[in-house]
Each structure stands twice: as structure tokens, then as C-alpha cells.
Amino acid sequence: MKDPIIQLKGLTKCYGPQRAVDDLSLNISKGEIFGLLGPNGAGKTTTILMMLGLTDPTDGTAFVCGYNATSNPIAVKRKVGYMPDSLGFYDNMTALENLKYIARLNGLSENEIRIRTSELMEIVGLSSVMTKKTSTFSRGMKQRLGLAEVLIKQPDVIILDEPTLGIDPGGVQEFLTLIKRLSKEQELTVLLSSHHLHHVQQVCDRVGIFVKGKLLAQGNIETLSADLFGHMGHVVSIKSAHAIPQPWSLQQELEQWEAIKQITMDKETIVFECKENITPALVRFFVENGYDILGVRQKDYGLDDIYQQYFEDIN
Amino acid sequence: MKTMNSQINIYKTAKGIRKSSPFGVVLHKEMADHIRSWRFIVLIGLIILTFIGSMYVSLGNIRSAISNTNDPDHTFLYLKLLTTTDNSTPPFHVFLSFLGPLLGISLGFDAINIEQNNGTLTRIMAQPLYRDNLLLAKFVSAMIMVGTLFFVLTLLMTGGGLILTGVRMEPQELLRILGFVVISVIYVGFWLSLSIVLSIKFRQAATSALTAIGIWLFFTVFYQIIVNLAIRSILPDPSFLSQDQILRYNEFILDLLRIAPNQLYTDASTTMLMPSVRSLGPMTMEQMAGAIPAPLPFRESLMIVWPQVSGLIGATAACFALSYYLFMRREIRS
């Protein structure tokens, strides 16, 4: 494994007796898109603030790009672009002025600023409105301006806190594609926090499930589902054109099969829980016995189920 | 690791040909904001109106003030312009002791909390900018605005006076007027830093403005009343006291009153603008004996007001230190 670019060790933050983040350890390597997934109030934002030195951890350390975020936040902030969840801009300034202000704060030269601002406005698709005041901007436009602002410092890492909040579905799609593309093109490491499973599922290489200050699981979607649902095996549901008569003559024959663990029936749908993937064999069996099959569905476990499972554990 | 560092350095040197410091950038932006804001225009209007009003009154009475030979200061035409009045309106420096706080408070009461409420603070703090630079830029930008305003006004006043009267200006007068301007700017600076502290402390701009105005009112109106009340109930009856004791008590009362910044300012500006003021406390007959009522040289006046000025600077610095303390390790969350 490559050297991690974000390294959290035993990170803890207490607000009074409440532990907002509890002994969090996490490594994120370069070029990865990591999704921090959790319900509201799970401590995602607090974790991000600690990574940027915007709040001090009660215990533990956060290393970002090789710098300690608590003792050396300026060095971290040079390398990290951060987009907070509630984005605000100076309303009396135009989008371009807002962007230039941030660029200047990062010490870019005027020449560079001119080139990069127009380039980035093009990338995020705000070229036509960049001389408008940001008070007239919609949420989605602000979000895109925020992304431009994050990118103007040419960061190594970008941290996006709830980037998809409050944008319409089309906008979300566009935004996530943009992030994914930029990450691949510029070898950016992206940390993305969200409570929207589907958004995370679309772009992230790896996700961490974060509930009540604790990281419950991490890995890519396949590993997570294998971990969680491995014991449940494969599930296949077959839909027949006609209702299955009760009792069913073929049931006994099927129960003889080694691989089948359980059969449940509901009118024309039969669900098989199997130890291995025997879908073709099942279909052949039905066809040979003269059943008309309307549909066969193999159940995959998505983030939804994963998420649900973890919440059940908590509640 | 080493190669990575050297790469970063190369990157940096290649990047910065003309690079201004983050502090300069924030300062620049803050000043632009002030200039464009309605609030500042209104305040400028108020100050200029006051200035014109008091100038008008003093110009009307300048002839009698200058020809009044009983007054040891009657030769200082330009100082007289700032202090003469026909008692219908207070002179400019007294006006300023009311308006100065208002100016300071209104420029600073929403310095930090409005950024926090708009969500811009998180964004700015995520940039490579030291937190104290932000505070300092907020303070310095307002100070530059106020300083420029005051200097422009006084220069206009002296220039106008030169044209209208044709009287030559003494170097001493210029120094005194400049000294007065500097003291006024420091006075405004105190209220500015106080209101910045409040803007960090309170998340609502209205709360911080009201608190600042409350403190201002307390010091201008109630503080003297409270001190007087307390003293009357605590101190012994003056008729049973010796001359010496009365003097000591008076000194003590004055010291108490000088906790109020506006008292310090009034003391300092009066001494600066009226060269014949020799002491800000009571004087004994022995001290007075043999003294000719004559104006003091600038240096001497400066010596008299020095404690006041350093008191004001000290109070400003204390507020500023407090704002650093509150802001440095605070969680920035919108």
C-alpha cells in the first residue's frame, strides 16, 4: 500500500460529556476517492474540521500531506482545498471577485490568477455568469463556484463536506462526474462526506461508514457487502407467468439440491437462497418443467442495504 | 520526504513573481468593503456635518475669541477654530468624544460574526491565512479609514483657515492639531477593538452592537453618576477634612473617573488643544503661586497627556489581546 496522504490516529473530539468523534483511525492513500458516509450528527464535519486544524482534537493526531493539522495548520491548508457544507460568498462581490480573492489569499501571482480563474470558470461552467454578484446565485451555482475555489489553489487533497446537499438530481450527477473526472485527471485525493448513499456509491473508490463518532466499517462496496451479507449467500428470485399451485409438486425435488438452503414462495414469485450461484441451473430446471419465466433477478447488495444493516445494529 | 520538500520549494519560487502577503490581501479587501458600504458613507456624512457645524460656529466667534486678551491662548488662531463655541453647540473635540465611539462601534460590531453567519469565515479560514492576520486586517483597515478621514478633515480645516484669515500657522499649532488627530484615532481604535471582541463573542450582530452601545452609554452617562453616588456615601464630609486631605480625595475621584475612556480622551484632547492647561488634576496654592497664565510648549503638553494616551493605547491593546485569545483556538463552524 502506498504512503497514506491522510492519516488519522486515534482522533477523538469531546463536547462536554458527548464524544462527537471517538477514537477514529483512518488512512487514505493518494489518488483515492474516499466517501465518509453517515447520518446527520455522526461527527463527519467535526472530523473534517480537525483535519484542517479548524478545531482542536481532544486526543489523537491528524496528519494530512505529512503535516500535523493541529500544530501546523497553515502548511495543511496550502495543500488542501476544503468546501464546507454551507457555502457562503461575499454577496457584494461578483463570482469572479470572490474567486480572485481566494486565489490571492493563496499567494498566486496576478498573471496566474487571470489565467486560472477563466480556465476554472470554464471547467465548472460558470463563464457566462462570472461577472454577476453571488447574491443572485442558486445553490447549485454556488456549489460549482465553491468547487472552482477549491481547485484554484491546485491542491493535493480536496475535502468536500456534503457537496451534493440541496442540488437537484441532474446537478448532482453533473457535479459528481466533474469531481470524478478531475480526480482522475489531476491525481487528486478526494474526501467526500455525505449522508446520500447513492451519490457516494457512484464516485467513491472506498467508503467508511461513520455512525455516532465511530468508524464501523471501511472498504469498497463489494468488500463491505461481502463482509456483511456473506453469510446470507446468493439470493435468486424467479418470476413465473402463472401462479405456482400450493402445494407445489416440484418443491420436494428442488429441496434435494445440495446448493439450495431455503425456498420461499409468493404466488408466482419463488425466492431461492443458495450457497453458490446456481441461477443457470435453476432456469434450465424451470424451462424443462414447462414453466414460462417472466423474470430472473439476482440480488446484489448495494449501499442501501449495507447502510440499513449498520443502522439496525445501532438502533 | 526530502525530495518532496525540495519539489515544493521549486514550485513555490516558480509560483511567486509578484506575490502579496495574505494579510495585505485581506486588508485590501476589507478597505474596499468599507469604502463601498453605506454604513461608512453615513458615518462620514455625520462626521463632516459635525465638523462643518462646529467650524461655522467657531468662525462666527473667532474674532471675539482672538481679541480676548485675558485668555492666554488667544494667539493660537487654529486651535481656537477647533475649540471656540458660542455655547449653542459643543466644540468639535467634544462632539468627537461622542461620535468617535459610534464610529468605532459601527465599523467593528459585525467584523467576525457576519462572516460566520454568511458562511464565509469557514472558507477564509480554510485558506493558508493566520487567524490573527484576519483580526489585524479588520482592525487596521478600519483604522486606516478613520485616520484618513480625520487627517483630511483637519487639513481641510487648516487650509480653509489659511485662505479665510490669511494668518500664518505656528508650527506648534500644527503639531498640536496633529497630536489631537492621533489621539482621536487612538480613541476610535479603542472602541473599534472593543466591538471586534464583542463581534467574536456574540454570534448575532445585533447583540454585539447593542452590547457595545450599552458599554458606551454606561461610560458616557452612568459611570459618572455611579462614581458620584458611591463617593458621596463612602467619603467623609469635606467640611471636617483638611486642605491636604480634600486634595487627595479629589485626586482619587479623578483617578476613578479616568477609568472611563471618554474621560481620558476629553482630558487628552483638551490639553492638546488648549496650551494653557497645565495640569489635569487639582493644584495647590503653592503650586499655583508665581505661575504666569501662559501657554505651555508642545512638549510639556505632551508630557501631561502621556498617561492618558498610554492608558487609551493600553485599553486598546487589552481588547485586542482578548480578541486574539477568544479567536485563536476557537472552532470555526458555520
pLDDT tens digits, A258-306: 778 778 888 788 888 877 778 888 888 888 888 888 888 877 666 667 6
Task: Find, among A142, A141, A150, A46, the residue nearest to A89 by Cα.
Answer: A142
- pLDDT for res A312: 61
User: Strand A189-194's sheet: what is its strand order?
Assistant: A80-83, A157-161, A189-194, A33-37, A206-211, A214-219
CA distance B275 to B172: 10
Confidence of residue A37 (pLDDT cuts 50, 70, 90): confident
Cβ-nearest to B19 among A74, A102, A109: A109
Q: How large is the average pLDDT for residues A70-75?
A: 91
Round the average pLDDT of chain A to a whole number and report it.
85
Contacts (Cβ under 8 Å, ≥6 apart) of A131: A94, A95, A96
Instruction: Mutate one of A3, A99, A104 to test the B interface: name it (highest B CB count within 10 A).
Output: A104
Contact residues for B106 (Cβ-Cβ < 8 A; gap 6+)? B39, B43, B209
Q: Does residue A95 have a pLDDT over 60?
A: yes
From B99's Cα to the closest Cα of chain A, the distance in A is: 27
pTM to 2 decimal places: 0.83
The pLDDT of residue A228 is 67
Tell me the residues of chain B between 12 and 31 that have a Cβ less than 8 Å away from chain A.
15-22, 25-26, 29
Q: Which residues contact B23 (CB under 8 A, 6 or more apart)?
A: B129, B133, B136, B137
pLDDT above 50: residue A179: yes
pLDDT for B108: 92
Evaluate whether A220 touches A207 at the Cβ level (below 8 Å): yes
How far apart CA B97 and CA B100 sit, in angstroms, is 5
Q: What is the pLDDT of residue A219?
A: 84
All three cell numbers of B6:
525540495
* Residue in chain B nearest A76 by alpha carbon: B128
pLDDT of residue A264: 81
Q: Which residues of chain B have pLDDT under 50?
A: 1-18
Which of B17, B36, B122 is the closest to A92 by Cβ? B36
Contact A109 B15 (CB under 8 A): yes
Residues of A with CB under 8 A from a CB of B: 45, 49, 52, 54-56, 66, 74-75, 77-78, 80-82, 84-92, 101-102, 104-112, 146, 149, 153
B7 touches chain A (CB under 8 A): no
